[in-house]
Structure 1
Amino acid sequence: MKAADLFAGAGGFSTGAKQAGCYVVWAANHWQSAVDVHAANHPETAHACQDLNQADWRDVPAHDLLLASPACQGHTPARGKEKPHHDAQRSTAWAVTSALEFHRPAAAVAENVPEFLKWALFPAWRQAVEALGYALALHVIDSADHGVPQHRRRLFIVCTRSKSPLQLHFEPRAHVGANRFINFESGKWADIHRSGRSAATLARVAAGRARFGERFLMPYYGSGSGLTGRCLSRPLGTVTTVDRWAVVNGSRMRMLTAAENRDAMGFPATYKLPEQHRQAVHMLGNAVCPPVARDVIAGIMAAA
């Protein structure tokens, strides 16, 4: 099965597609750095760097499966206060319908945050896809149920040229704890009680230590996991586009490394990341977890 990957970014959808037995013929993103990372890991794929709302679909090779992860920033509650650019980000979903109209592949999968379903224009978007001959099945999936050491709930819309929607059923895999990827010998450690450390951070450390002992994870920014942190035997909370999770080891603490974020997303250990830490974390936080993509695509292929 040949696949095309829109908004390919760090390449999680493409990686999962390859693991499911697909050949990814084309991938595109508007950010050149993301395209470069995707190309480094998927050299056999043709690449384009462009605004996909301006794409000429005649330039895209024929494919059986369209994969797409339009921007989620305009939908997620994590966006904070409404901003003008969110309108433009939400409009990226229409590139999916444009690609489907031209190529009419047998199937498509669109990934986004579950709040995508609350978008005022979602009924119109769904109607447009259905008008092209596709039946839609909505799946909200937690990556932890697919063996990824991270809780990450995402919406996967499976579109098939079939009379009825293709409802996929997955046997939940055993949850994998964060201790699978934390490397206590790596990273830049700092004393917890150094000058300038905020009272909120110190309170979170104290609460986590009282509950979990000397080694645990905690959100360094924001209020995720409350004020108590997370034990290492649990999957990590959602990886975001900025550094969020810190690991505590006795009297020291540090943020997760790019490699640990990669492993928490379920990418292969050999997957190449940008040298700049901030870029790597940003791309990973926007990515699709490869094992989830693999299982969804494998389910579609099995039903074909």
Structure 2
Amino acid sequence: MAGGGGSSQGIHYVPGTELVMALNHWRLAIDSHALNFPGAQHECCDISQADFRWFPYAEILWASPECTHHSVASGRKRIQLDQVPDENGEVLPVDAAERSRATAWDVLRYLERMILRGKPVLGGVVENVIDFQRWNLFEPWRKGFELLGYDIEIIHLNSAHAHARKALWSPQSRDRFYLGYVHRSVGRKPDWQKWLRPHATCPDHGAVRARQDFKRKDREPWGRYRTQYVYRCPRAGCGQVIEPLALPASKAIDWTIPAQRIGDRKRPLAKKTMDRIRDGLERYARHLVVPVEGRQGKQAKPLDEPTRTMTTRRETGVAFTPFIAELRGGASKHRSTTDPLCTVTASGNHHGLVTEGLAVPYYGTGRARPLSQPLGALTTVDRYGLLKAQIEVEDCLFRMLEPEEIGTAMSFREGYKLLGTKRERVRMLGNAVTPNASEILVSAVVEAITGEDIEPAAAPC
């Protein structure tokens, strides 16, 4: 089996698989991969120039071709960004910034070489960005698989909805294109739907396996979750739109890492970043994941939603309000989250994080409640006031996500080893495939090849 990045970790979770070889042009990435998979052969080379006659045979091939010129961020623009120093003054080496990953044609070249040996690759997966399918040579490239004897399946999957058996579920919204393929000599096709229907809850039917539904019925499926497709309840006569289960971004955050008050920073945050935090506070008044650079239209999001897509740059920060309200007793009313909590007593939890607006009853014995919950019974007396925490951006705490947190958001297991500077590690993570996605896709391929069922992930309790 050949593969690289996060895909190798995900593939490793599939029963009966063994990593044979991993290829990449970037020495640091290959050396990092070798630390985690010492038993496999590792090759650092210009893959476009590699002579596959001398490469080992793999029954399954995972490939993540070069994607920069398919991405919304053009290749040249990305290269320029890579050479801009980050907050630590770090830039990427040229081999990481300019050459990216293997080209799409090399996938077919390897498959053809193995067929000429008389041992066709039995199946595999190709991963890329969503816009890869809009490549002007996509149709002849896809046709190449069919001419080589493969049945193919075009898949659009968000990593947040890849419900793996063993890999961590990714608390990240990451839309990607996948092409699954199995050689016709296998005699079976993968049961893709078994692995691509995420767990969800229908208001009327409870726990279900949601079905993907593209909005445009007049063309081939393509696109991103919510924009071009949704998930629906599969029960007959229902079909209402439902939300697949997904982990919140907070699952990736190490809350023990200290942050700095924005107003105390020596290097002020960019105006756009400050504006995003203000907008996020206005909309959510709770912990936020904040994009500090990148494409237009990116907004701060609350931590109880999946993060934005992790790219090859360290461009996501965490902002949150810095005080605790003490609900009962004590000598103080509130204190900063940079200070210790007041004593936690046996009488109960009396520490409240001020994060959202409250509806406050000023008659009777009712309790204040967040606006995200229903109000108490409304009487003929006007009895509710609106309390909104007035939070200044300068008083929020802010820090960048650490590579280890980004690794968790990418579904990497704890303890996965990466070499290099922070920027280099983030680059490797942003270029990787989330292991939970590769696990479920390769599971479908392995089932078809072996004829043996693999049990998919059960719904979480």
Q: Give me the TM-score of the superposition, normalised by structure 1.
A: 0.90
SS in 1 for 2:307: coil
SS in 2 for 1:144: helix
- For these two proteins, the number of residue pairs brought into alignment is 296
Residues 137, 165 of structure 1: 8 Å contact kept? no
Q: Establish whether residue 175 from structure 1 lines up as the match of residue 246 from structure 2.
A: yes
User: Which of residues 18, 36, 39 is equivalent to 2:34?
Assistant: 39
SS in 1 for 2:2: strand
User: Which of residues 389, 410, 426 is equivalent to 1:265?
Assistant: 410
Q: Report the equivalent of 2:135.
A: 119
- Looking at structure 1, the residues matched to 171 and 76 of structure 2 have their Cα atoms a distance apart, in angstroms, of 30
SS in 2 for 1:78: coil
Code of the aligned partner of 1:182: I
- Looking at structure 2, the residues matched to 266 and 84 of structure 1 have their Cα atoms a distance apart, in angstroms, of 26
Q: How many angstroms does 1:89 deviate by?
A: 6.8
SS in 2 for 1:292: helix
Q: Report the equivalent of 2:282.
A: 210
Q: How many angstroms does 1:222 deviate by?
A: 3.3
Q: Establish whether residue 99 from structure 1 lines up as the match of residue 244 from structure 2.
A: no
Flag the 1:179–1:225 CA change in 2: closer, same or farther, 3 A.
Answer: farther
Q: How many angstroms does 1:114 deviate by?
A: 1.6
Q: Report the equivalent of 1:252.
A: 397
Which 10-residue stretch deviates more, 217-226 or 120-129?
Answer: 217-226
User: Which of residues 60, 65, 68 is equivalent to 2:63?
Assistant: 68
> 1:58-100 CA deviation, whole Å, 9 max, x = no partner?
3222221011000110101122767999998798111101100
User: Which of residues 151, 160, 173 is equivalent to 1:151?
Assistant: 173
- Looking at structure 1, the residues matched to 316 and 295 of structure 2 have their Cα atoms a distance apart, in angstroms, of 11
Q: Report the equivalent of 1:58.
A: 53
Which 10-residue stretch deviates more, 79-88 or 229-238?
Answer: 79-88
- Looking at structure 2, the residues matched to 4 and 267 of structure 1 have their Cα atoms a distance apart, in angstroms, of 19
- Looking at structure 1, the residues matched to 275 and 13 of structure 2 have their Cα atoms a distance apart, in angstroms, of 43
Code of the aligned partner of 1:93: A
Q: Report the equivalent of 1:23.
A: 18
Q: Report the equivalent of 1:279.
A: 424
Which 10-residue stretch deviates more, 37-46 or 201-210?
Answer: 201-210
SS in 2 for 1:23: coil
- Looking at structure 2, the residues matched to 80 and 50 of structure 1 have their Cα atoms a distance apart, in angstroms, of 20
Residues 109, 157 of structure 1: 8 Å contact kept? yes
- Looking at structure 1, the residues matched to 421 and 313 of structure 2 have their Cα atoms a distance apart, in angstroms, of 13
Q: Report the equivalent of 1:4.
A: 2
Q: Report the equivalent of 1:221.
A: 293
Q: Establish whether residue 192 from structure 1 lines up as the match of residue 262 from structure 2.
A: yes
Q: How many angstroms does 1:125 deviate by?
A: 1.1
In our comparison, the structure showing a higher alpha carbon Rg is: 2
- Looking at structure 2, the residues matched to 175 and 83 of structure 1 have their Cα atoms a distance apart, in angstroms, of 30
Q: How many angstroms does 1:113 deviate by?
A: 0.8
Q: Report the equivalent of 1:239.
A: 310
- Looking at structure 2, the residues matched to 88 and 180 of structure 1 have their Cα atoms a distance apart, in angstroms, of 33
Which 10-residue stretch deviates more, 267-276 or 211-220?
Answer: 211-220
- Looking at structure 2, the residues matched to 260 and 90 of structure 1 have their Cα atoms a distance apart, in angstroms, of 24
Q: Report the equivalent of 1:135.
A: 151
User: Which of residues 77, 96, 105 is equivalent to 2:72?
Assistant: 77
CA RMSD of aligned residues (A): 2.5
Q: How many angstroms does 1:198 deviate by?
A: 2.8
Flag the 1:33–1:226 CA change in 2: closer, same or farther, 3 A.
Answer: closer
Gaps of 5+ in 1: none
- Looking at structure 2, the residues matched to 176 and 83 of structure 1 have their Cα atoms a distance apart, in angstroms, of 29
- Looking at structure 2, the residues matched to 83 and 214 of structure 1 have their Cα atoms a distance apart, in angstroms, of 32
Residues 249, 304 of structure 2: 8 Å contact kept? yes
SS in 1 for 2:424: helix
- Looking at structure 2, the residues matched to 91 and 27 of structure 1 have their Cα atoms a distance apart, in angstroms, of 12
Flag the 1:186–1:84 CA change in 2: closer, same or farther, 3 A.
Answer: closer
Residues 217, 232 of structure 1: 8 Å contact kept? yes
- Looking at structure 2, the residues matched to 225 and 150 of structure 1 have their Cα atoms a distance apart, in angstroms, of 18
Q: Report the equivalent of 2:341.
A: none
Q: How many angstroms does 1:299 deviate by?
A: 1.1
Code of the aligned partner of 2:6: G
Flag the 1:123–1:236 CA change in 2: closer, same or farther, 3 A.
Answer: same
Q: Report the equivalent of 2:126.
A: 110
Flag the 1:225–1:175 CA change in 2: closer, same or farther, 3 A.
Answer: farther
Flag the 1:132–1:167 CA change in 2: closer, same or farther, 3 A.
Answer: same
SS in 2 for 1:240: coil
